Structure 1
């Protein structure tokens, strides 16, 4: 009885009710997505989501009762096991949507890369906590980067670009909160953004602009690209030599810093352009201009924006949406669940959902500020990075302001693996929060 009372005293009811409300919204609109134009339910996805939601709630409560600090001794072994499962999945997994990323028997399957997010958060939190006083920041950052690239690379090999991208904001959030110098974090962030830009520009020139642009010619001509790589690389090397002979002159440091970013982006964007599959290239094209292929790759974005726009202030009413019931929205119970919600509940319904996510984010920030130790602080910051990224990318994707990546809207989108992963993360947040009070 004392344990129960103490648990209830420190139980995070705000997180619980926000998550329960979002999962309920998800089940309702997954049900709506299964209604056809004749008003008949042609899908049982909502039944599975109810089962996953109920079992996920039990997982969340179970993890919240565990003391997260006891995971410390087992985390390296768990991380190694998770990476081994990703390798196994690469060779023996089931193909779904062009990626060998699922394991299962018969109709039942799980996506190991989703659960590896939790393991990655725990392992990186363990490492950052362990090295906070024993290593210099540069070495700490490089090893953290290596830790990220292990699962990220294995997931890219499946290949599952969307899921692999989630590890990046988790890494940025955790290293920033861990006190890694901002210039190191910005080096990776700016390098990533510049690589994406250099990858997209040649596609824009050939598929959208349909005419040659002088400054993009460097990116489309291999010889010119090599000359520019050699030039920026030489500038970087000379600047590092300047740093060696003139230690107090910081200009050399920053010249080499930006030269390395620029040179690296030129190199990685070249390889990115070679390895991108046709459907991924088309996703980039229709992100820039959906009407470049309105009946093909641009169809999803156009129909999603139509659904959101038709919702107006109060929406068409629950089960009254036309875009989903007439099957204009592909992947409508997963990637585009927010489009259905927007059409049927309108702007008011969207704001209600946004408010629930905002409360989760603010509650997580509160837990970060009040964590009793660095390990808990790191866990909460990693979960926040994951939640915010999923929300921004998915909502931005359905509104046409972000490329289509196949990233689900946590708690709402159909899918057991992503839902269980999100609820385990909420359980970890609750565990970190309650241990502040000695529970």
Structure 2
């Protein structure tokens, strides 16, 4: 009885309530997504989600009782094993939605790349904790980058671009909290944004603008692109030489800094343009203009915005949605679950979901500030980055303000792997939270 009392004394009821509420909303929406236009339930997805949700809650509670600090000695081995599983999945996994990213027997399957997010958070937290007293922040940052690129490369090889993108916000949040100089973090962030911009502009010119734009010509003409890469690379090298001879002149440092961002982004965007598949290119096109292909790639966004808009203030009522019941929304139980919820529960229902997520994020920030050690603080920071990115990208996607990436809305979207991953993360948050009291 003493143990139970102590556990309840430090139990994080805020996180628990928010998670249970979101999972409940998710099950209700998944059930609604299985109703057809005749009012018949043609799907058993909600039953599976209830099972995953129930077992996920048990898993979450079990991890909250585990002292996360004792896991630190096993984290490197867990990371190596997880990478080996990703390699195995690449060669022997199932094809689902164009990616070999699933392992399983018969109807049962898991997505290892989802669980790899948790392992990556633990391993990067372990490394940042071990090097917290290091005076060489540049080396610390570069090794952290390599830790991120290993799972990202293995997931991109499947290929699964959406899941791979999640590792960037996790990395940025953890390195920022770890005290890595902001200029290093901004280098990665700006390089990523510039790469996306340089990749999208040629697509915009050819598919949306339908006329030649002078400043985009550099990206569409291979010779001009090569000249610009050579020029920016040369400027960067000359600036590095200037830093060597004039150590106290910071201008050379910043010139080389931005030259490296520009040069690297031009190179990466070239390869991105070659690697992107046709359906991924179309996702970028319809993000810019959904009506460029209203019956094809733009259909999802158009129907999703229609569903959200038709919900008005209080919604059409539970099980009264038309977009989902008439099957206008593909992937409606996974990627576009928020569209169903907004149509049936309206603006008020959407705000409830926002409030629950906002409470989880605020609670996570509180845990970061009050963690008893660096390892726990880093774990919470990684979870914060993951949760925030999933929420912003998925909700932005269904509203048409973000490109379609196939990233689920955690706790609500149908899928056992993503739901368990999210609940494992909450279990670790609870463990970090309770250990500050010595439990």
Q: Deviations over 1:128-154 (max 9, x none)?
A: 000011351000000000000000000
Is the aligned partner of 1:159 residue 2:159?
A: yes
What is the 5 A alignment of 1:2-151? 2-151=2-151
Unaligned runs of 5+ in 2: none
Tell me the TM-score normalised to structure 1 length: 1.00
Q: Deviations over 1:7-52 (max 9, x none)?
A: 0000000000000000000000000000000000000000000000
Q: Secondary structure at the match of 1:101?
A: strand
Instruction: Identify the range of structure 1 (131-140 vs 39-48) with the bigger mean alpha-carbon deviation.
Output: 131-140
CA distance in 2, matches of 1:132, 1:10: 28
How far apart are 1:216 and its partner, in Å? Answer: 0.4
Q: Secondary structure at the match of 1:59?
A: helix
Q: 1:370 aligns to what?
A: 370
Q: Deviations over 1:273-303 (max 9, x none)?
A: 0000000000000000000000000000000
Q: Secondary structure at the match of 1:212?
A: coil
Q: 2:294 aligns to what?
A: 294
Q: 2:250 aligns to what?
A: 250
What is the 5 A alignment of 1:334-413? 334-413=334-413
Q: 1:262 aligns to what?
A: 262
Q: Deviations over 1:299-339 (max 9, x none)?
A: 00000000000000000000000000000000000000000
CA distance in 2, matches of 1:42, 1:157: 35
Q: Secondary structure at the match of 1:72?
A: helix
Unaligned runs of 5+ in 1: none
Tell me the TM-score normalised to structure 2 length: 1.00
CA distance in 1, matches of 2:93, 2:298: 30
Q: Secondary structure at the match of 2:82?
A: helix
CA distance in 2, matches of 1:343, 1:144: 42
Q: Secondary structure at the match of 1:95?
A: strand
Q: Structure 1 segments of 4 or more deviating over 6 A?
A: none
Is the aligned partner of 1:316 residue 2:301?
A: no
CA distance in 2, matches of 1:31, 1:283: 28
CA distance in 1, matches of 2:109, 2:398: 26
CA distance in 2, matches of 1:78, 1:233: 39
CA distance in 2, matches of 1:122, 1:62: 17
CA distance in 2, matches of 1:42, 1:72: 46
Aligned residues: 439
CA distance in 2, matches of 1:132, 1:411: 33
CA distance in 2, matches of 1:134, 1:267: 32
Is the aligned partner of 1:200 residue 2:228?
A: no
CA distance in 2, matches of 1:120, 1:17: 27
Q: Secondary structure at the match of 1:325?
A: coil
Q: Deviations over 1:351-378 (max 9, x none)?
A: 0110000100000000000000000000
Q: Secondary structure at the match of 1:62?
A: helix
Q: Secondary structure at the match of 1:244?
A: helix
CA distance in 2, matches of 1:369, 1:220: 47
